[in-house]
Amino acid sequence: MATLATVVDGLKLPNPFIIASGPPGTNLNVISKAFKEGWGGVIAKTVSLDASKVVNVTPRYGKLHSADKKEVIGWENIELISDRPFSIWLDEFKRCKDLHPEGILIASIMEEYERDAWIEIVERCQDAGVDAFELNFSCPHGLPERKMGAAMGQDPDVLAEVCTWVNAASKLPVWAKMTPNITHIEDPTRAALAAGCQGVTAINTIRSVIGVNLDTLRPEPSVEGYTTPGGYSSKAVRPIALRMCMEIASLIRDHYPGRTLSGMGGIETGSDAAQFILLGSDTVQVCTGVMKFGYEHVNSMCEELLAFMEGKGFETLADFKGISLPYFTTHADLVVRQKARKAAQAAEKAAAEQKKMILADAEWSGDNFVQQSDALAGN
């Protein structure tokens, strides 16, 4: 029987579906709900040492609907990292591990470009009992104004330095979360892995403007009549996320075997998850999908992923992780392959014609029936 259970960087997960950092992991109540519903793990909302610097606004989300308005296909947010005091978070991390000792709880952390701050946040979360770290180098709005988040993720040298500090202080697996707001996601990925991170997660949200209100002529989400570009997520970003995960997984396969990838961006079904795994992800994360469909949604995603595996005869996630990766190549190589196939077909046709070999039953003729029979013989 197929199983979704997996072990990634020593973390034992009942299934590969992890709550991505964001509103679905923003306090102990909702984290507990996630574990109760069967999520494979939870990455808590990103925390920092001094939450007093984090001031959120409302509204802070904007949705893009399908033409019939029945479906949300894109979601922009201008939400910052957690505005809850760090001391409360430490207490909730401890209580969470007491309540759910088997549940994999990952702390998402972010700090300014300051060695002591990163070391302090790692040590204090570690002492509170979390199972692993995700380093948020990827929030595209608000935090970059303080040279944090995507501002660090877009600078491989700074990112490498921070990863080195964190890895020296951490006794736990460390994943670096990549920003998609960069031309070559391989560059920060290489920097994080070379600096000792066990894994990489991708993608965070894509810098975006969700739209302009045609009555007020103001861009959305409108806060006192103004806005700021935010981060785009949900199913509209999935093709971009798949491409970036493919690039990261190819780099891991070729240069960092054994390191891991947690893929995300628009995952809403087991079939979506299967595609991320086929392109090399060890686990998959979901944020906006939980905001759209609720925590229970993990059950249908698990069922769909299992049905896919059983249909294909895969017993474990490892059986199909990365098996679609070798089928990416350059455009020039596609041209060469297509030319080669057409040339082979033409040669086959020419040989058949030369041997008077019939290619369809309508070609049999009473006049040279024996020759046609001979031509079809393999010896």
Ligand X SMILES: Cc1cc2nc3c(=O)[nH]c(=O)nc-3n(C[C@H](O)[C@H](O)[C@H](O)COP(=O)(O)O)c2cc1C
- Closer CB to ligand X, residue 180 or residue 314? 180
Cα dihedral value 274, 253, 16, 305, nearest 10 = 20
* Chain residues that interact with ligand X, rule: CB under 6 A: 20-23, 45-46, 75, 77, 79, 81, 108, 136, 139, 177, 204-205, 233-234, 237, 264-267, 286-289
Tell whether the torsion through CA atoms of 179, 201, 313 and 235 is positive or negative. Answer: negative
- Closer CB to ligand X, residue 72 or residue 323? 72
The tokens for 147 are: 């040279």
Q: Is 96 a catalytic residue?
A: no
Least Å distance between CB 347 and ligand X?
48
Cβ partners under 8 Å of residue 288, min gap 6: 22, 75, 233, 234, 266
- Closer CB to ligand X, residue 181 or residue 234? 234
Q: DSSP string of 64-90?
A: EE-TTSS-EEEEEE---S--S-HHHHH
Least Å distance between CB 287 and ligand X?
3
Least Å distance between CB 62 and ligand X?
11
Least Å distance between CB 97 and ligand X?
20
Element (H, E) at 262: strand 260-264
- Closer CB to ligand X, residue 75 or residue 165? 75
- 297-to-74, 117, 201, 348, 373 alpha-carbon distances in Å: 18, 37, 22, 52, 61
- Closer CB to ligand X, residue 53 or residue 355? 53
- Catalytic residue, chosen from 139, 163, 245, 302, is 139
Nearest one of 276, 264, 269, 275 to 237, comparing CA atoms: 264
Least Å distance between CB 79 and ligand X?
4
Longest dimension (CA), the chain: 95
Q: Is 338 exposed, middle or buried (0-12, 13-18, 19+ CB in 10 A)?
A: exposed
Q: Which residues are catalytic?
A: 139
